[in-house]
Amino acid sequence: MEIVNRTTLIVGIVIGFIVGLVLGWFVIGWGIWPVEWTDAHSYDLAPDAKAEYVGLVADSYRQHNDPTQAAAFFKGWTVEEMQPAFADAIVKYEAEARPDKVQAIRDLQMILGIEEAVPGPPETKAGLWDRIRVPCLVFVVVLLVLILGYVGYRQAIKRRGAAAQPAPAARRPAVPRAEEWEGVGQPPLGHFFTTYKLGEDTYDESFSVETAMGEFLGECGVGISETIGAGEPDKVTAFEVWLFDKSDIRTVTKVLMSDYAFHDDALRAKLAPKGEAVLAQPGAPFTLETTSLQVQVDVSELVYGEGNLPPNSFFSKLTVELVATAKPVEGGASSF
């Protein structure tokens, strides 16, 4: 579980980095606060600005009639840049019904030796959406890939965790053969083992108590009673161990507590209505009794969890053995 949490943190950091990169670089850098150019050359202007620039140079040439000075205004321009700029300028001032301006541009074009070119289609200025459309699409695709990858990873972790759990058949009751109890005493009606491991937040085991002929007599089991702390997985500090007797029509319960819970007065008072408090410790069996049944309960393995909670306050692993027998009656015979 610690590995899963660490991996989840790493995936979250990577996703946060990519989201921040996309928002900072593409959306903010290109769309909201794009880079502003300064000290640009005249040939770096946008097409509409170049047409305006040609008109200004034409006005200067018409006033001073100095071809050398006019040519100096286009220093660094190539012919491929000048031809469309002059064509766009002519189209611009024809649309504004300024024939004098158009003629001045044609005169300037002639003295510079620029061949007249067919103007291309007017360019429209890209809006905000046009500038950020591609970055947004890239961001959505990357985000979807990350989400799908994360979901797939979580599903793989769940499948791996489920595969690591013992098969249900391995936790079914194992009833000893009758001959194994010869000379020992009354054979049990059921002999069961159940193991809880940290992370089994829905842990609740029950076992059917039956006669050798399959007659149902009752049930016994172990389930989570109380947790402490916060976060996942749940930190179990107490279990309920119970016995149901169909002939008694009641359920007897005892609360199997961690060392911390057993010695905490507030927790003991809170759990008192559920049953008698019993300290969980290996080699210290206790018994549940009804009218006709009894179950001996023994903790065969106990491992406490470690973390920020008080020591010995929650279980990392707990294995409980339950042996169900018929309650003896007077004269030494069983009730069944």
CA angle (190, 195, 201) in 5-degree steps: 125
Per-residue pLDDT of the chain (336 residues; tens, 9 = 90+): 444 455 666 666 777 777 776 666 666 666 666 666 676 777 778 888 888 998 899 888 888 888 888 888 888 888 888 888 899 989 989 998 888 888 988 888 888 888 765 555 555 555 556 666 777 777 778 778 778 877 777 777 666 655 554 444 444 444 444 444 444 456 788 899 999 999 999 999 999 999 888 899 899 999 999 999 888 899 999 999 999 998 887 789 999 999 999 999 999 999 999 999 999 999 999 999 998 899 999 999 999 998 889 999 999 999 999 999 988 766 555 555
289 bridge partner residues? 294
Amino acid (1-letter code) at residue 177 = R
Sheet bearing 204-210, strands edge to edge: 204-210, 216-228, 235-245, 250-257, 276-279
Which amino acid does the sequence have at 154?
R
Residues 335/327, Cβ–Cβ less than 8 Å? yes
Q: Which amino acid is at 6?
A: R
- For residues 87 and 117, the answer to whether their CB atoms sit within 8 Å is yes
Q: Are strands 276-279 and 250-257 parallel, antiparallel or unpaired?
A: parallel
pTM of the model: 0.46
